[in-house]
Amino acid sequence: MTAEEYRREPPTDDPVQAFVPGHVTGFFSVHPHGDPRRAGSRGAGLALTEGVMVELHRADETAVVLDGEKAEIDAVTRTLDRLGVEARVAIKTPLPVSAGFGVSGGAALGTALAANALFGLTHTENELIGTAHAAEVEADTGLGDVVAQARGGVPLRLEPGAPEQGKLDGISVSNTRVEYVSFGDRPTGEIIGGNVKKLSQAGERALSQLLEKPTLPRFMALSRRFAREADLLTPQVETAIEAVRDVEGEAAMAMLGETVFALGSGLSDAGYEPTVCEIHPAGARLS
Amino acid sequence: MTAEEYRREPPTDDPVQAFVPGHVTGFFSVHPHGDPRRAGSRGAGLALTEGVMVELHRADETAVVLDGEKAEIDAVTRTLDRLGVEARVAIKTPLPVSAGFGVSGGAALGTALAANALFGLTHTENELIGTAHAAEVEADTGLGDVVAQARGGVPLRLEPGAPEQGKLDGISVSNTRVEYVSFGDRPTGEIIGGNVKKLSQAGERALSQLLEKPTLPRFMALSRRFAREADLLTPQVETAIEAVRDVEGEAAMAMLGETVFALGSGLSDAGYEPTVCEIHPAGARLS
């Protein structure tokens, strides 16, 4: 790019790409609110190097394509609606959908960042994160992935909601290998729309205990206890977690999906054939 | 690393490394407070891919080495004091010192992150950022670099202070080349300890005008005006900025150093021989 080109303000006619890390939540509590920017979750999770790539093209009418197939992702169309634009959205991800990796939240956040550049909307990052968060909450597909994916690392969601209201912290970690296996999907809305009192109590307890000593092994242990206390374990998930424990590894269940994630080579050591990635140290960004 | 090793909690006996991006501030206002965690600056800047690498070793007595030479970096020793530990700190950076790149803040923040891992201190990231910020404020070497370097990208410092009190936002940008030349140093304390009323008024005005339309070219234009209004321009800096403007580029002065930074190839196009880097999209991290 020449110096002169930097003087142009957006918009642009070229397609714009954004990358958003995946995110697995280990435990959480639900915090509903009439204003979707104030609704959300508290909890903790891991941002992953495997994530969601979003490419936005100018188009007369909004259309969403996921890994080459036409798709309906409510959080994405709601994000474009909130921004007042129409676009063709091409989403690519190696992550399984509806399995607890934040694909819908990542698609919404990537769409917000890319739309801002494509159309020269001049929103700040907090505003774009808030827009995607609100769209995701209204779509009933997530409560905390967007703000965590915007941050990266090991996000602690101390207070729920978009950046204006929410509050984040993080556990400081070095490069950390993460493995995962997924046994099937589980729609988020079914759980977070139901009776979540026991779940939220368990989530609040886990967060306050993690903050007493915020380390990665403790996050994993508290996540395991949360899945049990919230009655979310399925037989396959429980078996995989136990198998990793048997080889002295750290594993937990991804909320909300039938997915187990482990630190290091936990799942490989236990005889599974997991996908391998790392904790992603950075948040979502234009590429 | 094996699964078993992940079950160990820190501390470790091995040296620990952290990387902190450099940071140039384009404009700022000064916000003093008796509590160094509440003191700070508002303003805007760029995080840079050139940064500060900190390696921490266990040692009986604190010692600091900068690029192989014994050094006194008050912000670093104050960070260790606040954390209650002693260590040998080896700092490497390609950035010029006392030239407006946040080397002292980066060294303090990297020290905090590395000390947390080396000694198993189990502080959260916000706590470590707050510790380094307070140390930097007390050392009189900076007011806003630490929080900006912890965030990465194009940090907007909306409210001053450590994470507990401060508030950040950012301008969303794609990969962006940055060039810089440095003509000499300028101790930060001299300026931020003096009469800063006019400077702070100019900084507040620039921030509120940037928030009306937060784009990178506007950040550069407002930074240029700030340097003029705050009477900080030196002849060499003014000449370089004008030369970049003459080739239709975007350049501004780094606060506080005798340094000019430009977007794209602005300084090269103007006949300078700048150092080339990019906006660093991520914040400080253990490596």
Mean pLDDT of B92-119: 96
User: Measured between alpha carbons, how far is A280 from A26 in angstroms, rounded to an integer?
Assistant: 16
d(CA B253, CA A239): 60
Q: What is the pLDDT of residue B12?
A: 80
Interface of B with A in 111-130 (CB under 8 A): 113, 116-117, 122-126, 128
Residue owning tokens 């080396």: B118
3-state SS, residue B272: coil
> Are B76 and B21 a contacting pair, CB within 8 Å?
no
What is the reported pLDDT for A10? 64
As separate numbers, helices (DSSP H) first and strands (DSSP E) second, chain A gives 9, 12
- Can you tell me whether residue B228 is helix, strand or coil? helix
> Is A153 part of the contact surface with chain B (CB cutoff 8 Å)?
yes
Contact (CB, 8 A) for B75 and B139: yes
- Whether residue A2 has pLDDT greater than 70: no
CB contact under 8 A, B169 and A163: yes
Which of A54, A171, A172, A241 to mutate to probe the B interface, most B CBs <10 Å?
Answer: A172
Q: How confident is the model at residue A189 (pLDDT cuts 50, 70, 90)?
A: low
Tell which residue, B278, B265, B250, has the closest CA to residue B46: B278
In this prediction, residue A12 carries a pLDDT of 79
Report the C-alpha gap between A52 and A74 in whole angstroms.
16
Out of A97-106, A117-126, A192-201, least confident range: A192-201
The answer to whether A248 faces chain B, any CB pair under 8 Å, is yes
Residue B1's pLDDT band, with cuts at 50, 70 and 90, is very low
Q: Which two tokens stand for residue B106?
A: 């980066």
* Interchain contact, A3 vs B265, CB within 8 Å: yes
- B149 min Cα distance to partner chain A (Å): 13
Q: What is the pLDDT of residue A200?
A: 97
Q: Please state the pTM of the whole predicted model.
A: 0.95
Between A and B, how many residue pairs show a Cβ–Cβ distance under 8 A?
A: 149
Give the model confidence (pLDDT) of B154-211 as tens digits.
Answer: 999 999 999 999 999 999 999 999 999 999 876 666 666 667 899 999 999 999 999 9
With a CB-CB cutoff of 8 Å, which residues 30-49 of chain B face chain A?
none
CB contact under 8 Å between B124 and A213, yes or no, is: no
Calpha distance A102→A96 (Å, rounded):
9
